[in-house]
Amino acid sequence: MPKISQHTIDQVQLVHPYDLATRMGHWTKRSGSNITVRCPNPNHHENTPDTCIYSTRGIFKCYGGGGCGAQGGSLQYYAWATWGCWDSRTHFVEAVIGVCEIMGIPVEYDGPVNDSTPRRTQPALQHHTAAAQKAVFEEIPAQNAETCDRVYRRFLQLCPIYREHAEEWATKRKYTKEQILAFGLRSIPATWQENKLIVDTMQKEGFSLERVPGFTQKLRKDGNPLNDKDWYWTINAYGKYLLPVRDDAGRIVRLRMATGQAKKKYTWYSSSPNVLPVRDQSGQITELKVLDPTLDIKTNPSEMRRGGASSSHHINVVLPHKFLSSWEPGDEITDIFKFDSVVITEGEHKSFISANILNRPVVGVPGVGNYRDVLPALKKWGVKKVAIAYDADAFVVKEKDGKKAKNEDVFRNLINFAKEILDSDGIQLVFWIWNINDGKGLDDVLMLGKLPFEVDPRTQVRQPVTL
């Protein structure tokens, strides 16, 4: 059997996973320098697309729903999409041929070609029908960090603090008034009148809400969608209250919403548009491009949204509140707080409470699988030691439907994240663990006046955490 030429293999290995995903009809969305896609594994059913294609590195990795192990370059992407797995001994040849067919690369062999020459047996088409429908979506990029920070800070100043939320923060979270103000917690305006007053005030003050996640334009009742004057700005928010998310320069780059719902306690303050105005040279709207294939703009004009942008996922960089309150937007974290170790946990409240008690920086990840931006930040800051402090049920076996089971999603993400840090140079990794009877999260334990134990996965040394 003739071998595929090394030249052909080299050509295939130069194919970027993004180019392959696009040619395969997979939904893609650029976020900064990277691209978000749905996991190519047809057996992995994600609630949200959380697989990342790294533009500069030319690789992809699945982070969604606990991560299924799908990762690699274009060959691996093709294999996962076609067979739901990757085995180099079994899939290499067919994957090379498959990528060649999709990308239009001639398949060359070393030796004569005959009927026994391997050929691709399965089409690598998108297995997710919903994802294929969404291929028409276009990413509307959000404004830069400086613009979002200015808009969000003024927005939060105008938002109320309702008594019920203030009491919840003071009793359940044990926040002081000073901490609430430093964190920037605010209630979501509950009435249309409050909503309108805030938006009108911001516009009169000259704030542009265009492409700031969470703000959107809707069509007035019986309005003409081709007339800009019939669209009005509003707040795309629901639930209880807002929690700021900061970057490592102290800028409020996004907001999270506490929904008050049991199944989905927190979500992003976001406003992906579902229509896009198409304009002529004079700026007049000539038509609306529908970005959501499920939207019927004729029968449901009130559901049209334009002018906003998707929030996407962002890590939250938190300092103790005394530093947080004086952190000027644009100041690098390393210029105002000296540190060589960082604690990583999940969620905004856990991060804020932990940073205050531990008196050190804490990075909050928005869901245990959304950690891909953490390692670059750690390297940028020159961090020498990282403590991962995910919820205790990532480790502890618990009763579930009469059987014992781990929180598999959390545990799998924990292992994948740990591998990334262990594979990097110069960063010591430890896990923080505690008795689950003392609380599920790190904040629960710390608020009891207790400290976790730290375990070094390389040496297996276990010792108590000291402040």
Confidence (pLDDT) at 467: 86
Average pLDDT of the chain to the nearest whole number? 87
Confidence (pLDDT) at 394: 66
pLDDT at residue 340 greater than cutoff 60:
yes
**Lowest mean pLDDT across 75-89, 364-378, 431-445:** 364-378
- Residue 445's φ and ψ, nearest 5 degrees, are -65, -45
Distance, in Å, from the CA atom of 283 to the CA atom of 288, rounded to the nearest integer, reads 13
Residues 217-236, mean pLDDT to the nearest whole number:
96
Helices then strands (H, E): number in the chain? 15, 24
Confidence (pLDDT) at 148: 98
Confidence (pLDDT) at 383: 96
Confidence (pLDDT) at 182: 97
Confidence (pLDDT) at 103: 83
- Residue 33: strand, helix, or coil: coil
Local confidence band at 430 (pLDDT 50, 70, 90 cut-offs): very high
Q: For the domain covering 316-464, report its CATH number.
A: 3.40.1360
| Local structure of residue 303 (DSSP, 8 states) | G
pLDDT at residue 396 greater than cutoff 80:
no
- Residue 449: strand, helix, or coil: coil
As given in the structure block, the two tokens for residue 306 are 């334009």
Confidence (pLDDT) at 217: 97
Distance, in Å, from the CA atom of 160 to the CA atom of 186, rounded to the nearest integer, reads 6
**Lowest mean pLDDT across 106-110, 118-122, 249-253:** 118-122
CATH 3.90.980.10 correct for 145-303 = yes
pLDDT at residue 149 greater than cutoff 90:
yes
- Choose among 258, 251, 446: nearest CA to 354: 446
Task: State the DSSP H helix or E strand holding residue 149, giving kind and residue range, or none if neither.
Answer: helix 145-158
Local confidence band at 124 (pLDDT 50, 70, 90 cut-offs): very low
The sign of the torsion formed by the CA atoms of 440, 446, 452, 456 equals positive
- Choose among 307, 274, 310, 299: nearest CA to 289: 274
Local confidence band at 187 (pLDDT 50, 70, 90 cut-offs): very high
Give the per-residue SS3 of 55-79: CCCCEEEECHHHCCCCEECHHHHHH
pLDDT at residue 129 greater than cutoff 70:
no
DSSP 239-274: SSEEEEEE-TTS-EEEEEEE---SS--EEE-----S
Residues 119-135, mean pLDDT to the nearest whole number:
40
Confidence (pLDDT) at 69: 82
- pLDDT one-digit tens code per residue, 192-204: 999 999 999 999 9
pLDDT at residue 169 greater than cutoff 70:
yes
DSSP 332-374: -HHHH---SEEEEEESHHHHHHHHHHHTS-EEEESSTT--TTH
The sign of the torsion formed by the CA atoms of 391, 245, 360, 431 equals positive
Distance, in Å, from the CA atom of 251 to the CA atom of 150, rounded to the nearest integer, reads 9
- Choose among 18, 29, 79: nearest CA to 54: 18
As given in the structure block, the two tokens for residue 52 are 């990342």
Neighbours of 425 (CB within 10 A): 5
Confidence (pLDDT) at 84: 85
For the domain made up of 3-135, the CATH class stated in words is alpha beta
Local confidence band at 245 (pLDDT 50, 70, 90 cut-offs): very high
- pLDDT one-digit tens code per residue, 18-61: 889 888 878 888 766 688 888 998 878 777 787 889 887 889 99
- pLDDT one-digit tens code per residue, 431-454: 999 999 999 999 999 999 999 999
- Residue 118: strand, helix, or coil: coil
Distance, in Å, from the CA atom of 245 to the CA atom of 243, rounded to the nearest integer, reads 7
Distance, in Å, from the CA atom of 390 to the CA atom of 396, rounded to the nearest integer, reads 12
- Choose among 457, 455, 366: nearest CA to 419: 457
- Residue 123: strand, helix, or coil: coil
Say if CB 261 and CB 276 are below 8 A apart.
no
Say if CB 393 and CB 439 are below 8 A apart.
no
pLDDT at residue 117 greater than cutoff 60:
no
pLDDT at residue 409 greater than cutoff 70:
no
Long-range contacts of 275-284 (CB under 8 A, 24+ apart): 275/225, 275/304, 275/305, 275/306, 276/138, 276/140, 276/306, 277/306, 284/226
Residues 175-188, mean pLDDT to the nearest whole number:
97
Would you kindly state where each structural domain of the chain is located, as residue ranges? Answer: 3-135, 145-303, 316-464
pLDDT at residue 227 greater than cutoff 90:
yes
pLDDT at residue 250 greater than cutoff 70:
yes
Give CA separation, 417 vs 101, 137, 370, in Å.
35, 30, 9
Distance, in Å, from the CA atom of 206 to the CA atom of 252, rounded to the nearest integer, reads 19
Local confidence band at 133 (pLDDT 50, 70, 90 cut-offs): very low
Neighbours of 45 (CB within 10 A): 12
Local confidence band at 110 (pLDDT 50, 70, 90 cut-offs): confident
**Lowest mean pLDDT across 90-94, 108-112, 256-260:** 108-112
Confidence (pLDDT) at 6: 87
